Structure 1
Amino acid sequence: MSSSATPTSGASRMSGMTPRSPARVMSVIEALARAPDGATLAALSRDLDLPKTSLFSLLRALETDGYVVNGRGVYRLGMATIQLASMISGGTPQFRKISALLPALATRAGETAMVAVPTSDGLEAFYVDIVEGPQAIRYASSTGARRPLYCTAAGRVMLAFRDPTLTQAYFAAVTPMALTKHTTTDKNALRALIEHVRRTGIAESRDQVSIGVWGFGSPVFDANRTLVAAVMIAAPTDRAQRNHAHLVACIRDAGEEMSRMLGLAGDYILAP
């Protein structure tokens, strides 16, 4: 996984901050991470209980170095923050082991391979590593991209294998929206899909987020059978249809191999 972010580039500009400033900076980043559609200065001031004047100074410093972007008064996380988050996630021993297997998966499948983790609020999947497939026409995304859980293969893996109370809370809080004419939005139908993923260890998402894209996902567990990530393949729908059995085998094998590397013993997917 590569990145062009230089997290220390703003050190000189922030050198005059008070000792409390670093904690406030992180509070701003966390608040924006909880607001995928962005937040205004007024909303952030209320959320963080900070004066607008000091908050504006923090935001301006973060914007200068690309950690925050400001579009018509709405602040969002910038690419530097997203790349930093990806470097932190990818720098842990667990994710170094997982990422080391991703190129082989992309080669075997002949398609783009990805690793995703839940966002801090548990509402979206966050791509921490991507290896694009060798085909001229292939699925392309970027590290740091966020996608809804209910309509993506990685997200459905997370809903199937994380703490069931979190999944119940997710369905209570989220109103699924149709992103294409094929997106499944009925909660009962989604619960049935999630139960199927739990039984088989395979999640699929055909034309759910974008027409012409078919995703396949499987869980990655640690030694305690705790879900740490979802591994995913994404392919053009026509090619995925032709190679369906092969891609299903590739993603399940990859999920199991990554889980074994993290110390999982016993059956990969437990019988219900």
Structure 2
Amino acid sequence: MSPWEEGSINKLGMKLFERGNFVIHGLDIRKVAKTYLIDLSMKTGQTTNLVILDGREGVYIDKVEGSQATILYSRIGRRIPVYCSAVGKVLVAFKNREELEKLLQGHIYKAHTPKTITNERDFLVELEQVSTLGYAIDNQENEAGVRCIAVPIYDHTGQVVAAVSMSTLVTRINDEELARFTEMLRQEAIEMSQKMGYGIPFLQR
């Protein structure tokens, strides 16, 4: 049984549930995203993931295996550092300076691969790029041979509530496909955000 099946939510605790805005105004981000995760996976053949932030880590709360799936690091309930993952970058890149400084204070950057960002200066540069582009890429920074793309999902307050991502082996995606998959993710994330109340004036009061 996964940590998110009925009756097992206490495995990760209500604090995580609330802090990650997993349920907002009666909207369950996992239920909202499920159809889109399946749709993206079917269209691309790749693995799709839904991740929320807990402290300095992202937590996988849902995953759909693609037809081309192989064994990847993502699994429901797994935690991943923000500095070496596309989902992590997206989850923190849109925070204000004060929130970001507090989050990263005293953070230890451990190398997972030769491509991992290992200092705050480079990480902040990366986050600036993510906030400008609106998406993030993990190019073998967390696991050798694996590439991941992630985009943010916004809630009714305009805050990033989750990240949706697509992960695959580097041997299975070229630059042209990367651009196409990124645009597909962005379009699906826009629809998910709208369903979470993003852009609806009366919910933003």
Q: Do both proteins adopt the same fold according to a TM-score greater than 0.5, normalized to the shorter chain?
A: yes
Cα displacement (A) at 1:90: 7.5
When the two structures are aligned, how many residues end up with a matched partner?
193
TM-score (norm 2): 0.82
Cα displacement (A) at 1:81: 1.3
Alignment partner for residue 258 of structure 1, among 171, 192, 204? 192
Partner of 2:80: 147
Partner of 2:164: 231
Alignment partner for residue 40 of structure 2, among 85, 100, 105? 105
TM-score (norm 1): 0.63
Structure 2 distance, partners of 1:210, 1:192, is 21
Identical residues among aligned pairs (%): 25
Structure 1 distance, partners of 2:121, 2:81, is 17
Residues 2-61 of structure 1, C-alpha deviation per residue, up to 9 Å, x if partnerless? Answer: 6696748xxxxxxxxxxxxxxxxxxxxxxxxxxxxxxxxxxxxxxxxxxxxxxxxxxxxx
Residues 154-179 of structure 1, C-alpha deviation per residue, up to 9 Å, x if partnerless? Answer: 10001112343221122222021101
Gaps of 5+ in 2: 201-205
Partner of 1:124: 57
RMSD of aligned alpha carbons: 2.9
3-state DSSP of counterpart to 1:204:
strand
Structure 2 distance, partners of 1:4, 1:169, is 29
3-state DSSP of counterpart to 1:150:
helix
Cα displacement (A) at 1:251: 1.8
Alignment partner for residue 147 of structure 2, among 202, 205, 214? 214
**Which letter maps to 1:194?**
L
Instruction: Point out the structure with max Rg over C-alpha.
Output: 1
Cα displacement (A) at 1:136: 5.0
Which one has more relative contact order, counting CA pairs under 8 Å at least 6 apart? 2
Structure 1 residue ranges (4+ consecutive) displaced by more than 3 angstroms after TM superposition:
1-8, 82-86, 88-92, 136-140
